[in-house]
């Protein structure tokens, strides 16, 4: 059998957006996408807040800042073109004390540097916009939206197939070999039937397994994926109108995640969350799920212990609030007193694939690595769902370079 021109590992939003854009750019090339689950977007993409971020927080000039701004526009335009419901409901970042008020002004400056339209609201203007929210002031980000990212995945998969792409679900990539002229991709179908596919080039968008797919090709990386659970609650239907916008706290610049927020979902419900708790199984969504291999990979990685040393206090607080609902409630009651303990109804958690370096630092920006014939997305944290279209475009530009380079070196042999 002829090798495929390009194979992609991972049917999350990053893999699918790349796959679809590839078939548009190279209609003559054969492209194979391999996903280990029975459907698409079942991991990070299907367990997130569903927010189309505007790009408030990110370091000006970083890939995150650029991709988020471009991605928000591309996501909305894709939804318009393909009749996928989304809503530009806007978001409020609410300051609840003097320290947060100072941080809020710093964030407002960052928005300007990132070219994001905002309004700074006084306490009274905040009250007028959101009668159920208390704070000393807020930043109103008009362009923030909401969508169901799994719906985008379904559409991308359908378009990819229509444009001649091959989709393979229930196939897990378990090994990879790269030679001078091709790659061999070893898979198992539903944990039993083994198969080997061949391709000229490979793109790995494996999310929570990104370090493992890179390791299959012997790539020496100085990071590991550490899973962070993001636990949510859902408010009862009677609270579906409790807020008009998305309500976020002002984040602590020393902490990596955004803090518990109130999110209006595209189906009309409202969720509270997510927190950020240490996960003990990369793809285990239950609170007490553990996986010995995942734990072993963490505890034998020096970066994990250095990370713990830096964030142990925050980690303890998050863990306490994860088990003690009243603690979790306090986080949201800082800005919304109308929610009580009985309002916190169960909702599925998500798990973030966070790349951590050997020195214990968290990788904040998108991170890629490569071999002569493969490209790997090593870190695609939030807002990677928003940014999936520009990430895909960026990957294809990198792939073009790889293809030209290999062509040239073959010509000189
Ligand atoms: C709690 C939470 C909230 C978030 N909120 C937002 C938000 O509101 N807005 C936003 O923009 N972003 C948000 N994010 C981030 C965003 O969801 C992710 O960054 C994005 O979904 C990453 O997409 P992905 O395709 O890289 O990974 P994934 O969606 O995890 O997809 C990876 C795929 O690869 C497959 N795979 C892995 N290994 C193999 C293998 N060996 N063989 C075959 N297949 C394999 C997996 O099964 C999976 O389907 C959030 C994330 C979390 C966890």
Report the percentage of the chain scoring pLDDT > 70. Answer: 99
Question: Does 242 sit behind a cis peptide bond, omega within 30 degrees of 0 on the bond before it?
Answer: no
How far is the C-alpha of 12 from the C-alpha of 351, rounded, in Å?
13
> Sign (positive/negative) of CA torsion 266, 267, 271, 277?
negative
Of the candidates 214, 168, 162, the one whose C-alpha atom is nearest the C-alpha of residue 4 is: 168
Amino acid 413: pLDDT: 44
115: phi > 0 → left, psi -120 to 50 → alpha, else beta; which? left
Per-residue CA distances from 278 to 63, 94, 295, 383, 384 (Å): 26, 26, 11, 20, 20
pLDDT score of 412 more than 60 = no
CA–centroid distance, 144 to ligand 1, in Å, is: 20
| Model confidence pLDDT, tens digit, residues 60-92 | 989 899 999 999 999 999 999 999 999 999 999
Q: Which residues share a beta bridge with 168?
A: 34
pLDDT score of 323 more than 70 = yes
Higher pLDDT, 1 or 299: 299
Neighbour-count burial of 303, counting CB atoms closer than 10 A to its CB (0-12 exposed, 13-18 middle, 19+ buried): buried
Task: Of 102-111, 184-193, 282-291, give the lowest mean pLDDT range.
Answer: 184-193
CA–centroid distance, 205 to ligand 1, in Å, is: 9
Amino acid 198: pLDDT: 98
- The residue nearest atom 3 of ligand 1, judged by CA position, is 48
User: Ligand 1 pocket test: which of 8, 14, 207 has the largest number of ligand atoms within 8 Å of its C-beta?
Assistant: 207
How far is the C-alpha of 244 from the C-alpha of 88, rounded, in Å?
11
Token output for 180: 């001078």
Which atom of ligand 1 lies nearest, measured to the CA of 263?
8
The domains of the chain, with CATH numbers, are 1-88+147-222+358-413 (3.50.50.60)
**254 pLDDT band (50/70/90 cuts)?**
confident
How far is the C-alpha of 368 from the C-alpha of 312, rounded, in Å?
28
**410 pLDDT band (50/70/90 cuts)?**
low
| Model confidence pLDDT, tens digit, residues 189-216 | 976 789 999 999 999 999 999 999 999 9
Residue 34 in contact with ligand 1 by CB distance below 6 A: yes
Which atom of ligand 1 lies nearest, measured to the CA of 174?
41
pTM above 0.95, yes or no: yes
Residue 275 in contact with ligand 1 by CB distance below 6 A: no
**Strand 4-9 relative to strand 166-168, pairing:** unpaired
Which atom of ligand 1 lies nearest, measured to the CA of 187?
42
Amino acid 255: pLDDT: 79
- The residue nearest atom 34 of ligand 1, judged by CA position, is 10
Round the average pLDDT of the chain to a whole number and report it: 95
CA–centroid distance, 386 to ligand 1, in Å, is: 11
- The residue nearest atom 31 of ligand 1, judged by CA position, is 12
pLDDT score of 258 more than 70 = yes
- The residue nearest atom 9 of ligand 1, judged by CA position, is 51
């Amino acid at each position: 059998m002829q090798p495929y021109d390009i194979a992609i590992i991972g049917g999350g939003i990053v893999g699918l957006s790349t796959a679809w854009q590839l078939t548009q750019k190279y209609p003559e090339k054969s492209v194979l996408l391999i996903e280990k689950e029975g459907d698409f977007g079942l991991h990070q993409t299907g367990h997130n807040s569903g927010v189309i971020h505007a790009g408030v927080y990110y370091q000006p000039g970083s890939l995150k800042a650029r991709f988020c701004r471009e991605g928000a526009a591309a996501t909305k335009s894709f939804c318009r073109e393909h009749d996928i419901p989304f809503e530009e409901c806007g978001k409020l970042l609410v300051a609840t004390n003097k320290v947060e008020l100072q941080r809020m002004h710093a964030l407002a400056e960052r928005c300007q540097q990132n070219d994001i339209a905002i309004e700074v609201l006084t306490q009274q203007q905040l009250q007028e916009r959101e009668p159920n929210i208390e704070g000393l002031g807020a930043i109103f980000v008009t362009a923030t939206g909401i969508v169901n990212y799994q719906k985008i995945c379904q559409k991308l998969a359908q378009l990819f197939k229509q444009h001649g792409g091959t989709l393979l679900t229930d196939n897990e990539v378990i090994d990879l070999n790269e030679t001078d002229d091709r790659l061999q991709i070893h898979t198992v179908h539903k944990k039993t039937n083994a198969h080997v596919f061949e391709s000229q080039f490979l793109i790995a968008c494996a999310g929570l397994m990104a370090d493992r797919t890179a390791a299959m090709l012997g790539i020496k990386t100085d990071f590991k994926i550490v899973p962070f659970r993001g636990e949510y609650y859902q408010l009862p239907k009677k609270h579906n109108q409790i807020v008009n916008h998305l309500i976020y706290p002002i984040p602590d610049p020393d902490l990596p995640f955004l803090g518990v927020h109130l999110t209006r979902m595209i189906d009309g419900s409202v969720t509270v969350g997510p927190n950020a708790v240490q996960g003990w199984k990369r793809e285990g969504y239950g609170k007490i799920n553990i996986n010995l291999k995942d734990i072993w990979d963490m505890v034998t990685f020096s970066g994990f212990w250095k990370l713990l040393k830096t964030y142990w206090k925050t980690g303890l607080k998050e863990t306490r609030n994860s088990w003690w609902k009243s603690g979790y409630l306090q986080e949201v009651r800082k800005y919304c007193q109308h929610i009580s303990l009985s309002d916190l109804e169960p909702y599925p958690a998500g798990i973030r694939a966070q790349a951590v370096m050997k020195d214990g630092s968290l990788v904040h920006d998108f991170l890629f690595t490569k071999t002569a014939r493969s490209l790997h997305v090593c870190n695609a944290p939030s807002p990677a769902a928003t940014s999936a279209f520009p990430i895909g475009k960026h990957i294809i530009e990198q792939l073009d370079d790889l293809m030209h380079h290999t062509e040239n070196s073959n010509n000189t042999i």
